[in-house]
Amino acid sequence: AQSVTQPDIHITVSEGASLELRCNYSYGATPYLFWYVQSPGQGLQLLLKYFSGDTLVQGIKGFEAEFKRSQSSFNLRKPSVHWSDAAEYFCAVGTQGGKLIFGQGTELSVKP
């Protein structure tokens, strides 16, 4: 079955600290993976995506993600979190027809 799991529902980090949001996927073929961010009252904005090539992907706003096939993971990282990064983060896998299957999301809070 195709699925995406984000084990952490809510994470709190201090401003300036590093961040890692976990994502595990289940997909039979080569996965096409995405991270989106959703600020309150907003739609989803693409942070980065992976579909081939280098397993370390750079995105916007200083985010990066690493694809690890052996672990079926696509974790999102940022070396130093800013207060403006507080939002909800969604990992997704692209399926046939372009339909996205999303994880449940991780809500990030940033302490001053």
Question: Is 59 or 81 the residue whose CB approaches another protein more closely?
Answer: 59
Query: Measured on CA atoms in the order 102, 103, 104, 110, is the torsion positive or negative?
Result: negative
Candidates 2, 72, 75, 95: give the one binding another protein (CB under 8 A). Answer: 95
Q: Is residue 97 a contact residue for another protein (CB under 8 A)?
A: yes
Q: Is residue 59 a contact residue for another protein (CB under 8 A)?
A: no
Question: Is 47 or 110 the residue whose CB approaches another protein more closely?
Answer: 47
Q: What single string gives the DSSP state of each residue in the chain?
A: --EEE---SEEEEETTS-EEE--EEE-SS--EEEEEEE-TT--EEEEEEESSS-SEEE-GGG-EEEEEGGGTEEEEEESS--GGG-EEEEEEEE-GGG-EEE---EEEEEE-
Q: Is residue 10 a contact residue for another protein (CB under 8 A)?
A: no
Q: Is residue 99 a contact residue for another protein (CB under 8 A)?
A: yes
- Return the residues of window 69-88 that contact another protein according to CB under 8 A: none
Q: Is residue 102 a contact residue for another protein (CB under 8 A)?
A: yes
Binding residues for another protein (CB under 8 A): 32, 34, 36, 41-46, 49, 51, 90, 92, 94-105
